[in-house]
Amino acid sequence: MELAGAIAGVVLAYFVGSIPSAYLLIRWLKGIDIRTVGSRNVGALNTYSQLGPAGGVAVLVADAGKGAVGFFLPAWLGAPEWVSGLGAAAALAGHNWPIFLKFRGGKGAATVLGIGLALSPVYAAIVVGAAALLMLATRHLVTAAFAGFIAFDIAVTVTWQSTFVVVMAWSMTALVVCTYMARSAQPIIAALKERRWKSVVFPR
């Protein structure tokens, strides 16, 4: 029963993560493919640039929800606690490489936010507030988001949260950073060549 629940939970988590909320919302409201406009990223920030705050927040909540659901799905199906980590990773993989969009999705920041809220709601909420203040001060969402992820990882580490929570937190952050760097390599290299240092330090 536990094995069946584990397998079903992880597989379903991937499909939940694959639901392309940004793509569906933009297609429904504007009749266009989000992968062809703005930053071409299938995420909340690009949705914000196309639809404004309401659309961006809607996708942020939906994508965060995918991460939280992916985390809890295995437990709901009777799997051991540690399988929740695989469910979270599967949901994040689904968001970044969705089967419904030929494996071309977002970068995973909002989905990791949802996983963080599932792992440790109090610390995640505090860090979200701090990251929001940093974003207002710097006007750079990506930088504030990365700072928030690292702050959350440090918080759960220094407060002696369970090994499971600590490993999950750092692993999800590492996956998001690697995905972002892989997809932003060309703009970053171009900024370095042109000596646009601000674009490197504060990427959008």
The model's pTM is: 0.82
Q: What is the pLDDT of residue 129?
A: 85
Average pLDDT over residues 12-38: 92
Share of the chain above pLDDT 70, in %: 88
Q: What is the pLDDT of residue 195?
A: 58
The torsion angle over the Cα atoms of residues 140, 110, 93 and 15, rounded to 10 degrees, is -150
Average pLDDT over residues 55-80: 91
Q: How confident is the model at residue 197 (pLDDT cuts 50, 70, 90)?
A: very low
Q: How confident is the model at residue 77 (pLDDT cuts 50, 70, 90)?
A: confident
What digits encode the pLDDT tens for the residues 88-114?
Answer: 999 999 999 999 998 888 888 889 889
Residues 6+ away with beta carbon under 8 Å from 162: none
Closest CA relative to residue 91, chosen from 74, 69, 107: 69
Three-class secondary structure assignment of 137-189: HHCCHHHHHHHHHHHHHHHHHHCCCCHHHHHHHHHHHHHHHHHHHHHCHHHHH
- For the chain, the average pLDDT equals 84
Q: What is the pLDDT of residue 201?
A: 47
> Is a pLDDT exceeding 50 seen at residue 200?
no
What digits encode the pLDDT tens for the residues 130-165?
Answer: 888 887 777 777 778 888 888 889 998 998 888 888
What digits encode the pLDDT tens for the residues 174-192?
Answer: 888 887 777 666 655 655 5
Q: What is the pLDDT of residue 177?
A: 81
Q: What is the pLDDT of residue 18?
A: 95
Residues 6+ away with beta carbon under 8 Å from 25: 47, 51, 55, 58, 59
DSSP state of 107: -
Domain extent at residue 133? 2-201
Spatial distance between the Cα atoms of 143 and 203, rounded to a whole number of angstroms: 7
Q: What is the pLDDT of residue 56?
A: 87
What's the domain count of the chain? 1
Q: How confident is the model at residue 40 (pLDDT cuts 50, 70, 90)?
A: confident
Q: How confident is the model at residue 202 (pLDDT cuts 50, 70, 90)?
A: very low
